[in-house]
């Protein structure tokens, strides 16, 4: 019991929280870059630009079928041979952003494909160019539909940050390893602490995904049946 209590001393908890901050920072920055890059790549795949779309699709397929840890190794150990030596934090961000952007690109492409072709045709008939119709009509609807899937993918990204401990990223997993490496009696308590901390972050994101999915379903129901909005607000149609 004393060993368990010692594992959760304020010094150890503070050390874990410092690692958790690095995990959150890497996750947020990676989410930002992978979201922007994923949308661009997904659009390029959808619009079928000669040669470019095929090349982008080929690269995305390669990245999606590679282990993330291999990409992490390349960014940390391979890039220095090309004259660029990133710190563990930025090597992790680069690797996670590239890997997740490939995943998001497929979600974006599938989301755009799911929009009825009549939306594009109607926009073009009203005088919009192809790119204007894609930007103002098709893409906003697609992004709205794919938000739950993207949030779920970002939940995986948060958990995948633990793989970067292999390049000594000072994240939550790395700090836990340091603590139980100094005292093996702290191993199980540290694993429990890791489980709780990762669960809190990922469960919060999963609640966000569920909330967005419910809002999406409600908006679709109201769009199909305007009377549903009146009923949901307590007003019965006459």
Q: Is residue 46 part of a domain?
A: yes
In 3D space, the residue among 19, 161, 13, 194 whose CA is nearest the CA of residue 92 turns out to be: 161
> What value does the CA radius of gyration of the chain take, rounded to a whole number of Å?
23
Q: Is residue 65 part of a domain?
A: yes
pLDDT at 120 over 70: yes
Quick: pLDDT tens for 45-71. Answer: 998 888 899 999 999 999 999 999 999
What is the pLDDT confidence band of residue 236, given thresholds at 50, 70 and 90? very low
User: Global pTM?
Assistant: 0.84
Split into its structural domains, the chain has a count of 1
Please give the residue range of the domain that contains residue 113.
2-232
Quick: pLDDT tens for 6-50. Answer: 788 889 999 999 999 999 999 999 999 999 999 999 999 998 888
Q: Average model confidence (pLDDT) for the chain?
A: 86
Residue 65, pLDDT score: 94
Quick: pLDDT tens for 127-166. Answer: 888 889 998 899 988 888 888 888 889 999 999 999 998 8
Higher pLDDT: 153 or 2? It is 153
Q: Is residue 237 part of a domain?
A: no
Phi-psi region at 83: left, alpha or beta (left = phi > 0; alpha = psi -120 to 50): left
Q: At 156, which CATH number? A: 1.10.3720.10
Q: Is residue 196 part of a domain?
A: yes
DSSP codes, 117-149: HHHHHHHHHTT--HHHHIIIIIHHHHHHHHHHH
């Amino acid at each position: 019991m004393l060993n368990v209590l010692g594992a959760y001393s304020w010094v150890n908890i503070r050390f874990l929280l410092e690692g958790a901050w690095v995990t959150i920072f890497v996750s947020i920055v990676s989410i930002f870059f992978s979201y922007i890059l994923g949308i661009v790549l997904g659009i390029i795949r959808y619009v079928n630009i000669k040669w470019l779309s095929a090349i982008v699709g080929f690269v995305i397929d390669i990245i999606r079928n590679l282990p993330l840890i291999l990409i992490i190794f390349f960014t940390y150990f391979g890039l220095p041979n090309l004259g660029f030596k990133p710190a563990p934090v930025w090597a992790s961000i680069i690797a996670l952003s590239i890997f997740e952007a490939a995943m998001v690109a497929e979600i974006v492409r599938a989301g755009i494909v799911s929009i009825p072709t009549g939306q594009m045709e109607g926009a073009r008939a009203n005088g919009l160019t192809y790119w204007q119709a894609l930007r103002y009509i098709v893409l906003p609807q697609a992004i709205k539909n794919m938000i739950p899937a993207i949030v779920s993918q970002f939940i995986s990204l948060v958990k995948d940050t633990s793989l970067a401990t292999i390049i000594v990223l000072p994240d939550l997993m790395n700090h836990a390893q340091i603590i139980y490496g100094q005292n093996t009696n702290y191993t199980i308590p540290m694993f429990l602490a890791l489980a709780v901390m990762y669960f809190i972050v990922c469960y919060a994101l999963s609640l966000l995904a569920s909330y967005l999915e419910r809002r999406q379903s409600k908006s679709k129901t109201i769009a199909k049946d305007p009377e549903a909005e009146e009923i949901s607000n307590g007003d019965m149609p006459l």
